[in-house]
Amino acid sequence: MCETNQRPIFVTRPSMPPYEEYIRMIKPLWDSHNLTNMGEYHRKLEEDIKKYLKADFISLMTNGHMALELAIQSMNLSGEVITTPFTFVSTVHAIKRNHLTPVFCDINADDFTIDASKIEALINKRTCAIVPVHVLGRICEVEKIRSIAQKHRLKVIYDASHSFGETYKGEHAANFGDAATLSFHATKVYHTLEGGAVVYHEKTMGDELYSLKNFGIRSETLIDGIGANAKMDEFRAVMGICNLRHLDQEIEKRHRVYEKYMELLGGIEGLTLPYIQKYVTSNYAYFPVLFDRDLLGAGRDILYEELKKRGIYARKYFYPLISDADCYHTVYSSKETPVARKVSDSILTLPIYADLPEEEVIRICQAVKEIIKRG
């Protein structure tokens, strides 16, 4: 029976710092009226994140999309960029908006990241870069990708939007590649309401990013380029400062939710649960499961609709594949990336956030089991 009278459960809910902590920190903004243009809190947040990530350099942005778009633009690339179709559409839009040609590589069936063994076959004289995506809490095959890029002299820009707080062999995920971009959107494990950042290693790239995110302005009298407006304001910087203080505790809360799911959904034939990769510390940002229609009877879409009737709002991350999106499907075919197509057709991300009560995890799992049993 549908439990429509119960409180709805959404796929995520933003973590928030204590109200008094945030209000106390924004009070000086009313006194100073300094609200934007790389102010005091903006500078502090950059330093705090740089220290947390143990990064060489970081540039804050107004959102994760502009971080990726401007990171690519700063490298003055031309030609083709190898990337994955199993990602949020922003990844590919950022490539296209830089007048580059995306080339889709298939993904690994187990971790959903770009299949590094298939990258070299796609490289030609027009290839200029690789844009892999650390996706749904899984880290790309960074060593293999680095080796390929060095061999063919390609740039590597990671879309690391999902990966804040994650490490591989002790190194934060955002520190791999020539650059990596982060999203601090409210749906992420760590957020600044809306925001993003570029993590990079060469100081000169920072000068270019500063110009690109500030209208091409380098000083009061020098405007030597055509830039965008991608600066982060002080209110969002304060939210980021506060949330960073509580990040480790929030990740641990998510870990407990993750473990409860694993306990309650384990052992169901045809249901593939997530796993933590070797050498990776997870941020437990998502709980993606794969549904085998042949074994379960109830397909992913049926489960999605039935859960929604019960007030449980899971998400089909990522569906449709980018190559099947209306704005790309006349150029690309998802048949060329069969693993990505299969995953996209069978994946469902269940609700997970730090304050998701155990009784609601139980409610979700009971609903999943009931729908599967009914077929």
Q: What is the pLDDT of residues 47-103, one digit of tens each?
A: 999 999 999 999 999 999 999 999 999 999 999 999 999 999 999 999 999 999 999
Neighbours of 21 (CB within 10 A): 15
Q: Chain-centre distance of CA 13, in angstroms?
A: 15
The predicted pLDDT at position 1 comes to 44
The predicted pLDDT at position 296 comes to 81
Q: Is the pLDDT score of 5 beyond 80?
A: no
Right CATH number for 9-13+247-374 from 3.30.70.260, 3.40.228.10, 3.90.1150.10, 3.30.559.10? 3.90.1150.10
Confidence of residue 202 (pLDDT cuts 50, 70, 90): very high
pLDDT digits (tens, 9 = 90+) for 236-294: 999 999 999 999 999 999 999 999 999 999 999 999 999 999 999 999 999 999 999 87
Average pLDDT, the chain: 96
- Per-position DSSP letters for 104-151, written without gaps between them: E--B-TTT-SB-GGGTGGG--TTEEEEE-B-BTTB---HHHHHHHHHH
Reading the block at residue 82, the tokens are 């190898």
Share of the chain above pLDDT 70, in %: 98
pLDDT digits (tens, 9 = 90+) for 33-42: 999 999 999 9
Right CATH number for 19-245 from 3.40.50.300, 3.30.930.10, 3.20.20.140, 3.40.640.10? 3.40.640.10
Q: Is the pLDDT score of 337 beyond 60?
A: yes
The predicted pLDDT at position 219 comes to 86
The predicted pLDDT at position 28 comes to 96
Q: Is 30 helix (H, G, I), strand (E, B) or coil?
A: helix
Neighbours of 249 (CB within 10 A): 11
Share of the chain above pLDDT 90, in %: 94
Cβ neighbors of 128 (< 8 A, separation 6 or more) are 77, 78, 79, 80, 81, 100, 154, 155
For the chain, residues classed under CATH 3.40.640.10 are 19-245
How confident is the model over 345-368, as a mean pLDDT? 97
Location of structure tokens 């009313």: 30
For the chain, residues classed under CATH 3.90.1150.10 are 9-13+247-374
Stated pTM of the model: 0.96
The predicted pLDDT at position 4 comes to 56
